[in-house]
């Protein structure tokens, strides 16, 4: 299937990442919530889905981490999308005439310096592209939105300012998910989730096998395990494929110190934009 699910409205950064990963042959399918995206994949309504997992400015997207643990999916790829926030308004609008700005709360946070400089009144929205779509429907010249250049194109809006994010290297990492694992090829990463045994120095012992086998960790994240107070799931990314000897040995050692371990996927590593 060439249908790929993403969260948000047409023109969302997730759609940009989708097109960058799959190319123009894919058919993007928009869903309002992350839960809907995972559900579409589970019901085989789409062949793949793409979800944000972390942003260089805002940090981890915790709901995505929780849904990875709750659903039977495989990570088959990753990509990094440079986030270039644009201020957009109706045709004929000028930057000096707009008073209120609409966007997702994270996008508003990432553009604080620009917003304060121009004295704009902030309004939080569920999605950046959704804010652009709603603003285009309102036909109020005093309103503007922060979203992608693709959203401006989709909804017929005029870009008033580009690259308005406070930090110029603002980047979001996306995961590509499927019901089936990825074939092994090229430089790979492996992602997994585990719950450590309730013993002294449990996390230290869980990670020891990666150190002794020379496996580089690229990410470690903790979330409540929902099995009781004080218990946590740990999400871990490392370099290498699960079938490589060093990674395999590290995983065998890890398993001894866990009550639950699940490999989320071994997949080709994405390239971080400069």
Residues 6+ apart with CB under 8 A from 187: 239, 268, 269
Tokens 């300012």 label which residue? Answer: 161
> What phi-psi label fits residue 214: left (phi over 0), alpha (psi between -120 and 50 degrees) or beta?
left
Ranges of H-type helices in the chain:
13-22, 34-42, 62-70, 105-110, 112-117, 128-138, 149-154, 202-212, 245-256
Catalytic annotation on 114? no
Q: Say whether 174 is catalytic.
A: yes
Angle between helices 34-42 and 62-70 (to 10 degrees): 20
Catalytic-labelled residue, pool 64, 128, 172, 258: 172
Tokens standing for residue 118:
């121009």
* Cα 155 to chain centroid, rounded: 23
| Integer Cα distance of 135 and 173 in angstroms | 27
Given the residues 174, 194, 210, 234, the one annotated as active site: 174
Catalytic residues: 172, 174
């Amino acid at each position: 299937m060439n249908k790929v699910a993403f969260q948000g409205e047409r023109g969302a950064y997730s759609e940009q990442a989708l097109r960058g990963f799959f190319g123009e042959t894919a058919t993007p399918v928009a869903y309002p919530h992350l839960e809907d995206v995972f559900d579409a994949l589970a019901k085989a309504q789409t062949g793949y889905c793409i979800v944000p997992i972390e942003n260089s400015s805002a940090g981890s997207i915790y709901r995505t981490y929780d849904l990875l643990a709750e659903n039977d999916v495989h990570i088959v790829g990753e990509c990094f999308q440079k986030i270039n926030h644009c201020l957009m308004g109706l045709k004929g609008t000028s930057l000096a005439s707009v008073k209120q700005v609409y966007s997702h709360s994270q996008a508003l946070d990432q553009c604080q310096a620009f917003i304060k400089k121009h004295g704009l009144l902030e309004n939080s929205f569920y999605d950046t592209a959704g804010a652009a779509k709603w603003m285009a429907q309102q036909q109020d010249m005093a309103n503007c939105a922060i979203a992608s250049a693709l959203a401006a194109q989709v909804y017929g809006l005029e870009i008033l300012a580009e690259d308005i994010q406070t930090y110029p290297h603002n980047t979001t990492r996306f995961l590509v998910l499927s019901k089936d694992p990825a074939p092994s090829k090229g430089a790979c990463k492996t992602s997994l989730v585990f719950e450590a045994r309730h013993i002294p120095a449990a996390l230290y012992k869980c990670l020891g096998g990666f150190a002794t086998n020379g496996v580089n960790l690229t990410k470690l994240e903790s979330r409540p395990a929902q099995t009781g107070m004080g218990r946590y799931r740990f999400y871990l990314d490392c370099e290498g494929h699960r079938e490589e000897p060093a990674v395999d040995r590290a995983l065998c050692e890890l398993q001894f110190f866990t009550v639950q371990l699940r490999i989320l996927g071994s997949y080709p590593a994405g390239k971080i934009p400069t």
